[in-house]
Structure 1
């Protein structure tokens, strides 16, 4: 009940952790939130938020004629029958014509949090966790640096996986009691969630979601007397899931084909490599990073990770807890442990060319594995600590070291590893004080010792949860509503442009990311903007008929930006500004003459072209004054 009440409170108040306040008239946050918005996660406030708001404004997802729709990546619905079932909560964004946008936005963003709170604790209790440890797992995952610095993207994966797995377990339990129809219904419901691991961000689905799914499978089938029921339930869920994902892929076939054939990420192949210690065990030292500069072309999110150190605690206590763990619980724990070892080998050993040919693993960049391996480690630690608590309660500690000595040993090992790894952070974080790594080592060691000493008590869980929450509480703001993206003169102007574009069946083009975000968030059809799934080759053939720049524009997870300083009469030039930023350099007449039906151009610079006439008054957005130009084809302009 409490998770539902919390979710309802977030929805009614329109609260999210989005940094969309950075998209404002002044270019800085002016109010409507607690805490600071950090620009480092532009994937969230500059890409995801405008795309989600565009669905609220338009009733379905929008995309440029150069780019395929974002439905598969962001799991939003455009109204196609099958994807509307699979991407269930994505339909919330299609209700903008009837319900307040801020509430719907909050409902969509908070959905994965609700799933995690409802499903993960009872699922872990099936695997052998006691109640305090089952909730500690939620705190360790929700507050992990890799979660808070990546705008809770990993939590979306974990929430979906946990919901699907828990429904499968419930389905098997109901069927085992003879309630077959209930069991099959719950299995079908599981099929609504688990196939979604094949979309969104697949590398993290593999590192976060798949271990939990495999652990659930082994848990269900390990008992001989229940194997037939378990296999039947799993088969029913798989059948529903395969139907839904196959249908969704069919409905989005063009986008899927484009994504799989992009230079990045579709055709990218990676191999295992030994990473730096701070990338593995440095998570406890990743606090108070907001005011620091990260070197080496990285940023705070790129060096963030989850708590792999939890795996060390699990390894130290597992032999002592093993005898006091049921067989099917062991099966789930061993599955998690083996998957963690596989992931660990990917980030500690050099696999060479062999790694590029291993199915599944070759799609995992080692840095992304290092960021997320701590999530299954946190789950495993909570399961092992629960077994350790049972061992102590059953009087097995008489043959072991005294409880306090064991807790101190675990604390010392954890402190040493954390101190060593965190001590390497100043090499990439400019100005990071030495006391930060020392503090991280001492606090993490003390917390590990406390959890080991009292593994069945709520007190160490509360202390640990408080520590990890405080470490990342300032990373994301608490935002109320949608800010200037909906309530500002610039937003009013954008909606007027939308009305014009819909009436004339035309598009708008801009040369600034913040301007595109404003337009997209208000449902304005644009040329350029977001190319998250992959390119539309027919559209790019207009820009690059000779395919001279295909290696640049044939990308997903990218941004397409136009500039208007190209040579008049010349073909456009496509420039790779950075890995995920594609710039098309052209002029106003080419845009007006193209088949993209562009008739409005917005820029902060003055355009001197026979095809562009400034209209209306200027508008202010992002701290700059913008001018709107009406475009006229060159033949019409010359006459």
Structure 2
């Protein structure tokens, strides 16, 4: 084993170290896809249509709060499947570009750069959805492992444990979507590639890493979800600068030589930019429509928006176990918004600062990589808590993110800080840290937990009660910080993984396939009716009628619009009276009313419209109504009703009064 893990002459991991863990990930990925197992929460629909135990649920429980996954994106993917993966989805009248946002499979050239969607184009639906679920996550875990062993080539087991801890980070688990995970994967891939390009002399190695980074960069950028891309990119930029300066000094080469070694990365970046430019130009009208919405439009976040309660949510990582038990009081608005990180990035600033000052005092040499990590951590915290520098934040693109989404950057920085600190401590140039540094770092852990505990004890005692293992998580966090500062990487990594498991394991279930509404009685009936006499549908009531219509692939005025389809809104609001209400990314739903449609937005991502089957709009533009409550309107004639499990659904035909 000693020979197997021996680094190469360039200080990089051996072939065995580089491949054993990714090989295990690949085997696990193949098995999960083959058996169509994912972490989807589409099992939420079982509570509407089933009784007893859901036979597809293997472990855990579906999470209703993850509606972006089970209600929105899964429904649109099913709709695309029904419609044959067209570039324009024809559910909403006028159609909606399926290649921009919602992360949908299409027969468009851009799907080449969406590898997690290719399974849906080639495999059965359930296996394709499993590919969509697992591929970004396995790439992220593999990239994190590769980063760790690139700097610590003799510690493959520790790297695997750290990668598992990253995977179980609450902010990743509660926001588990390709649009969340690809930026993290790109960050670790970019940092790993930087290490290899600056240390390995072979051109083909540098070109290979540059190509991989560029490909994942395009996949990430095509999500157009800047709030998660920005913090990940910020970490990469700081690491690139710091590592380049450090390598130039340690290898005694000029900065021009460093730039020469990075030329493949620069060329790949230009190539990725060219691909994205073509993609943007070929769907510029869609992107302009999206940017022209009231929400999200060109939304910018101000600096220093996090107050005391936001601080509690940020530092409340050990209490995030409460989120598993439906507890969010004092931590955030809901489970996803409340999800945080174990603030290892902040605690590891203490040993990093000591290392920086010690190296400077001994040899007057700046440890640029350590400085860059500390600086990046401070920039993210400053964006959250320090107001008054909006102009600079705008130049740095920070205002394209938000305070809660910036937590993703701290999750990445935590792993980076652990790896860099451990690499410095195992270097012959650095002596062991004094115990005082370890005690100060562990004291910071205690302080970071005492503050939220003192607040929650009076403001939200139920949250503490719903997080019974918070003391264990805190103790493990203290232990791992001390171990990391004592150069005990393996034991520290194990403690960190255990702490992350307490608060992140079990967020998402293990589920066989996805719950397909097209296979319910009402879903089948909708498709059969529309096949006999095609028409336009409206869904009234809960979210279920909307999901049924979207998954059925019929023309319907329901569903999440990424931008307002012109034809549909010309029919609903021909005068443009409500344009300020409906010109947004939002879920469009209907409720019974009298007269012509009235449009309102109870929250910024929801649109509610009144429907009267006898109105001019109803008579002219609507043929069928699907509802889960009886509809008492003269111009709506019941043609079928269904009772499945605890739910009842009614299908009406719109007729003249």
Band the TM-score falls in, shorter-chain normalisation = 0.7 to 0.9
- Report the Cα distance in structure 2 between the residues aligned to 1:607 and 1:530, rounded to whole angstroms: 23
| SS of equivalent residue, structure 1 residue 288 | helix
Q: Structure 1 pair 355/493, CA: closer, same or farther in 2 (3 Å)?
A: farther
* Residue correspondence of structure 1 range 504-515 to structure 2 within 5 A: 504=534, 506-511=535-540, 512-515=542-545
Matched, 1:379 2:401: no
CA apart distance, 1:166: 4.3
Corresponding position of 2:505: 473
Matching residue within 566, 574, 584 for 2:609: 584
Matching residue within 139, 144, 157 for 2:169: 144
* Residue correspondence of structure 1 range 620-635 to structure 2 within 5 A: 620=643, 623-632=646-655
Q: Structure 1 pair 626/425, CA: closer, same or farther in 2 (3 Å)?
A: same
Q: Structure 1 pair 335/541, CA: closer, same or farther in 2 (3 Å)?
A: farther
Deviations 1:371-391 (A, max 9, x none): 324223212322233134315
Contact 2:242–2:371 (CA under 8 A) maintained in structure 1: no
Q: Structure 1 pair 413/239, CA: closer, same or farther in 2 (3 Å)?
A: closer
* Residue correspondence of structure 1 range 239-638 to structure 2 within 5 A: 239-273=270-304, 274-276=306-308, 277-295=311-329, 298-320=333-355, 331-351=368-388, 358=395, 360-369=397-406, 371-391=407-427, 396-397=431-432, 400-402=433-435, 406-426=437-457, 429=460, 431-433=462-464, 438-456=471-489, 458-483=490-515, 485=517, 487-497=519-529, 499-500=531-532, 504=534, 506-511=535-540, 512-531=542-561, 533-556=562-585, 558-563=586-591, 565-567=592-594, 570-589=595-614, 590-594=616-620, 598-609=622-633, 611-616=635-640, 618-620=641-643, 623-632=646-655, 637=656
| SS of equivalent residue, structure 1 residue 561 | strand
Contact 1:123–1:166 (CA under 8 A) maintained in structure 2: yes
Corresponding position of 1:193: 216
CA apart distance, 1:243: 1.9
Q: Normalised by the size of structure 2, how large is the TM-score? A: 0.83
| SS of equivalent residue, structure 1 residue 350 | coil
- Report the Cα distance in structure 1 between the residues aligned to 2:646 and 2:617, rounded to whole angstroms: 26
Contact 2:162–2:493 (CA under 8 A) maintained in structure 1: no
Q: Structure 1 pair 38/445, CA: closer, same or farther in 2 (3 Å)?
A: same
Q: Structure 1 pair 365/479, CA: closer, same or farther in 2 (3 Å)?
A: same
Contact 1:64–1:527 (CA under 8 A) maintained in structure 2: yes
- Report the Cα distance in structure 2 between the residues aligned to 1:80 and 1:396, rounded to whole angstroms: 56
- Report the Cα distance in structure 1 between the residues aligned to 2:549 and 2:405, rounded to whole angstroms: 32
CA apart distance, 1:552: 1.5
* Residue correspondence of structure 1 range 21-32 to structure 2 within 5 A: 21-24=43-46, 25-26=48-49, 30-32=54-56
- Report the Cα distance in structure 1 between the residues aligned to 2:532 and 2:244, rounded to whole angstroms: 57
RMSD: 3.4
CA apart distance, 1:103: 0.9
- Report the Cα distance in structure 2 between the residues aligned to 1:77 and 1:230, rounded to whole angstroms: 37
Corresponding position of 2:18: none
CA apart distance, 1:497: 4.8
Corresponding position of 2:6: none
Identify unmatched segments of 5+ residues in structure 2. Answer: 1-22, 249-253
Contact 2:242–2:370 (CA under 8 A) maintained in structure 1: no
Q: Structure 1 pair 524/430, CA: closer, same or farther in 2 (3 Å)?
A: farther
Contact 2:239–2:373 (CA under 8 A) maintained in structure 1: yes
Q: Structure 1 pair 291/231, CA: closer, same or farther in 2 (3 Å)?
A: closer
Contact 1:603–1:627 (CA under 8 A) maintained in structure 2: yes
CA apart distance, 1:244: 1.6
Deviations 1:97-141 (A, max 9, x none): xx3211110011101112112222223433567545533442332
- Report the Cα distance in structure 1 between the residues aligned to 2:628 and 2:598, rounded to whole angstroms: 21
- Report the Cα distance in structure 1 between the residues aligned to 2:459 and 2:62, rounded to whole angstroms: 23
Corresponding position of 2:36: 14
Matched, 1:155 2:192: no
| SS of equivalent residue, structure 1 residue 469 | helix
Q: Structure 1 pair 232/451, CA: closer, same or farther in 2 (3 Å)?
A: closer
Contact 1:215–1:331 (CA under 8 A) maintained in structure 2: no
Write out the 4+ residue segments of structure 1 that deviate beyond 6 Å after TM superposition: 171-174, 321-325
Matched, 1:235 2:259: no
- Report the Cα distance in structure 2 between the residues aligned to 1:539 and 1:509, rounded to whole angstroms: 12
Contact 1:269–1:356 (CA under 8 A) maintained in structure 2: no
CA apart distance, 1:494: 4.3
Q: Structure 1 pair 91/496, CA: closer, same or farther in 2 (3 Å)?
A: farther
Q: Normalised by the size of structure 1, how large is the TM-score? A: 0.85
Q: Structure 1 pair 178/607, CA: closer, same or farther in 2 (3 Å)?
A: closer
